Amino acid sequence: MKRHDTLLVDPYHRRLSYLRVSITDRCNLRCLYCMPRKGVPKLRHEDILTYEEIIRVCRIALSLGMDKIRLTGGEPLLRKGIFNFLPQLTALPGLRDVSLTTNGVFLAENLDKIRASGLKRLNISLDTLKGERYVKITDRDCFEKVWEGLTLARKKGFNPLKINVVVIRHVNDDEILDFARLTLDHPYHVRFIEYMPMGPVQKARHLEHVPNAKVKERIAALGALVPIPKEIYDGPAERFRVKGALGEVGFISALTHHFCPACNRLRLTARGALRPCLLSGYEQDLKGPMRQGATDEEVARIFLNTARHKPYAHHVSLKNDHDLQAYMSSIGG
């Protein structure tokens, strides 16, 4: 498909160049802030996009000027056939940056396959460095497997290797310094993510937010935080390095420091819906039209229409009760 003259630009003149793609709604963990312990109803196999459909959507997105793709889930390494799919994705013309977000449970045994596919950037979700606490947060006893995968990924040269930490008061906020210390001797990029109190899980558990300003204050005890200039494919994190550290720390402050004005992403859900914002209820179906014979041009018009519905900012705050009518695992984190 040839590159379109029309690029994806929203009503606020933001060029949309980043597509987050959820390839499955299924996950092997039951994290406190994401999913009930009993799980959620799973999509039927026929209700999720096939790999061929995902490749087609990504190819059309690239023709519209998008050039960065992140694969998410659920847990993407759970989906059968992913290691045949990855080389097809990384080979798409115009794709300049591709990465994978994983909980790391199946990472160690699959690193060579991931590397062979051409994918070199990994984000590993890990909210504690304590085995017993890992069980309490995820309802699974997998910490050692995740740590093995993380360590092996570093030895195999994956770079950058990011660790995503969702900070929750009275759950893991006493480990902030422990995570930051990892960056002193290892080239990890530790990202502290503000917990967003919303949706069905929050209503059931009443988890508490910790502002990243407080997180940053604690980390400053390790030494001066030196700002790191943003690079072209950076996400929303404010990046710093503790003076003399090999790695870096970052702060993703979706509640206390909205990065919405610079947001450049759309989201494709596992069931084939295109969303302009994680926290917007608006979405457009891609799967139905594609299965009914829509041309590439017609699919491209759905992208353009979705871009026109991208809000300037989300409205979640600590002062409201935003009700996201979906679990994160069904949208893609």
Residue-level pLDDT at 142: 98
pLDDT of 206 reads: 75
Which two tokens mark 12?
């606020």
Residues whose CB is less than 8 angstroms from the CB of residue 220 and which lie 6 or more positions away in sequence, other chains included: none
The span from the CA of 36 to the CA of 44, in Å, is: 19
Return the sign of the alpha-carbon dihedral for residues 321, 325, 327, 333. negative
- The predicted pLDDT at position 257 comes to 72
The answer to the question of residue 11 being in a domain is no
According to DSSP, the β-strands at 189-194 and 248-252 are parallel
Can you give the pLDDT at residue 153?
Answer: 98
Domain of 203: which CATH number? Answer: 3.20.20.70
C-alpha 193/C-alpha 323 separation (Å) is: 20
pLDDT at res. 330: 55
Residue 166 has pLDDT above 60, yes or no: yes
**Chain centroid offset of residue 312 CA:** 20
Q: Which amino acid, residue 36?
A: P
With a cut of 90, say whether residue 299 has pLDDT above it.
Answer: yes
Amino acid at the residue 225: L
Q: Which residue has the higher pLDDT, 253 or 189?
A: 189
Percent of the chain's residues with pLDDT above 90: 76
Segment 197-223 shows an average pLDDT of 82
pLDDT of residue 253: 87
CA dihedral 323, 329, 331, 333 (to 10 degrees): 100
Q: Taking 90 as the threshold, does the pLDDT of residue 271 lie above it? A: yes
219 contacts: CB under 8 Å, gap ≥ 6: 176, 177, 180, 225, 242, 249
Is residue 10 in a domain? no
Give the 3-state secondary structure of residue 225.
Answer: strand
Residue 13 belongs to some domain of the structure: no
Its domain, for residue 159, covers 18-331
Cα–Cα distances (Å) from 286 to 58, 205, 258, in that order, read 12, 34, 29
pLDDT digits (tens, 9 = 90+) for 123-157: 999 999 999 999 999 999 999 999 999 999 999 99
Has residue 242 got a pLDDT over 90? yes
- Tens digit of each residue's pLDDT (9 = 90 or more) over 51-94: 999 999 999 999 999 999 999 999 999 999 999 999 999 999 99
| Global confidence as pTM | 0.91
Q: Peptide bond preceding 200: is omega within 30 degrees of 0, i.e. cis?
A: no
C-alpha 301, offset from chain centre: 25
Q: Is residue 280 part of a domain?
A: yes
> How far apart (Å, rounded) are the C-alpha atoms in residues 238 and 276?
23
Longest dimension (CA), the chain: 59
The pLDDT assigned to 199 comes to 60
Q: Mean pLDDT throughout 145-171? A: 97
Q: Please say if the pLDDT value at position 222 is more than 80.
A: yes
pLDDT of the residue at 4: 62
Q: What is the pLDDT of residues 41-53, one digit of tens each?
A: 889 999 999 999 9
- Show the tokens assigned to 25: 């709604």
pLDDT at 204 over 60: no
Instruction: Identify the pLDDT of residue 169.
Output: 96
Q: How many domains are there within the chain?
A: 1
Question: What is the pLDDT, as a whole number, of residue 323?
Answer: 52
pLDDT at residue 203 is higher than 80 = no
The predicted structure's pLDDT at residue 319:
54
